[in-house]
Amino acid sequence: MYPFDPGVYAARNRWYVAALSSEIGRTPMERWILNKPVAFYRTEAGTPVAIGGRCPHRGYPLGKSQLRGDAVVCGYHGMTFEADGRCSHIPCQDVIAPNARVKAYPLIELWDWVWIWPGDPERADPALIPDHFELGLTDPAWKKRPPMYWPVNGRYQLLNDNLLDLSHLTVLHASTIGGADVAATQETHEEGGGWVRSTRYIEDAFMTDWSRQARGIEGKVDREIGMTFLMPGLHHGHDRFYRPRSEATGANEPILEVRVFHAVTPATLTTCHYFAASAVDPTTHEIAARTQPDPKATMRIFLEDIEATNEIERLLQTAGEFKELPLRSDVHGLRGRRMLQAMIKAEQAA
């Protein structure tokens, strides 16, 4: 399905962020993952659990049911499902058929969010989750801000496309992190097994008033902005600021580095989940300790991306699919899209 080829949707045997840790508690929560309803909750010991969200009897949502101990009791006829998906009690009969069960999804809780493996549980390899320490999420040297979550009324690849093409900062985020020089600067492209990275180095970079205030930066700066896409659903961006290069040494002094993490997870065929977090490296400069961006303006950056995604989906639903007109700035993004599609097709063919 657009923007992929017909019949191509999402990779199942991969890890995705399913929820913030704070969202999962002792009340079942329904959340759609890769076009399937899933019921999330925590055991009495605090362990997160995810099981199929539809009771096999009449299809009542288990995410709208109740807990009894570590099991979910269907709110319609009382079938009880354990954390491993097995039915352990049926009020109207003693015999429980072997197929009276729902799927149990592998979960791993890292940092402040929870990862889910939607595919074959036997293939769930924790080593495939990106290294959170390397990213800076579990490295205590990085100053983190709490993660955020939004439901998005657009298919997941539209949001991936947004994050793969940072030239949109010039227009969509003109009042905050944008500037004409972002789109005007040619990006470099790198790729490897399951990842792509784009980078722009901008000399004497334009800084909006918001950006200077939020970053605590004065005077002329050079800016390096980039994004790495770890397929299928995690983007981590960096925004690095330097004093202009020294004519004598050719070197530049680092001022500040900000990292932003974007997790995109398919919900239904035409909706997705968006998680975001940020971190500042306090070792680059003392200003890292005092940067306090306006939270409303920071939120607006994410909401602008969400609104753009929603509007594109609205037209896809009402006006239908269309033939895209590629621009020079699409080279990296289209390469990332094709690599993800190849990953999905390889899984489908296996």
Assess contact for 105 and 34: CB atoms under 8 A: no
pLDDT of residue 46: 99
Of 199, 202, 217, the C-alpha closest to 256 is 217
Architecture of domain 130-349: Alpha-Beta Complex (3.90)
Residues making up the chain, counted from first to last: 350
Say how many C-beta atoms besides its own lie within 10 A of residue 300's C-beta. 16
**Tens-digit pLDDT profile for residues 40-95:** 999 999 999 999 999 999 999 999 999 999 999 999 999 999 999 999 999 999 99
In DSSP terms, 150 is beta-bridged to 274
Q: Is the pLDDT of residue 296 over 60?
A: yes
Q: What percent of the chain has pLDDT over 70?
A: 95
Q: Identify the band that residue 254 occupies on the pLDDT scale cut at 50, 70 and 90.
A: confident
* pTM for the model: 0.95
CATH 3.90.380.10 maps onto the chain at: 130-349
Distance CA 135, CA 322 (A): 37
One CATH from 2.60.40.1120, 3.20.20.70, 2.102.10.10, 3.90.79.10 for 16-123 = 2.102.10.10
Contact 162, 305 (CB under 8 A): yes
Kind of pairing, strands 113-116 and 107-110? antiparallel
Chain-wide mean pLDDT for the chain? 94
> Mean per-residue pLDDT for 146-161?
98
* pLDDT per position as a tens digit, 211-249: 888 787 888 899 999 999 999 999 999 999 998 876 556
Please state whether 266 falls in left (phi above 0), alpha (psi between -120 and 50) or beta.
beta
What per-residue confidence (pLDDT) applies to 199?
98
Question: pLDDT, tens digit, for every residue of 100-142?
Answer: 999 999 999 999 999 999 999 999 999 999 999 999 999 998 9
* 344-350 average pLDDT score: 97
Residue 122 pLDDT:
98
**∠ CA 122-124-126, rounded to 5°:** 145
Query: What is the DSSP annotation of 217-277?
Result: --S--EEEEEEEEETTTEEEEEEEEEPPPPTTT----EEEEEEEEEEEEE-STT-EEEEEE
Q: Where in the chain is the domain with CATH 2.102.10.10?
A: 16-123
Beta strand extents in the chain (DSSP E only): 16-20, 29-33, 36-42, 48-52, 66-68, 71-73, 80-81, 87-89, 107-110, 113-116, 143-152, 188-192, 195-202, 222-230, 234-242, 254-266, 272-280
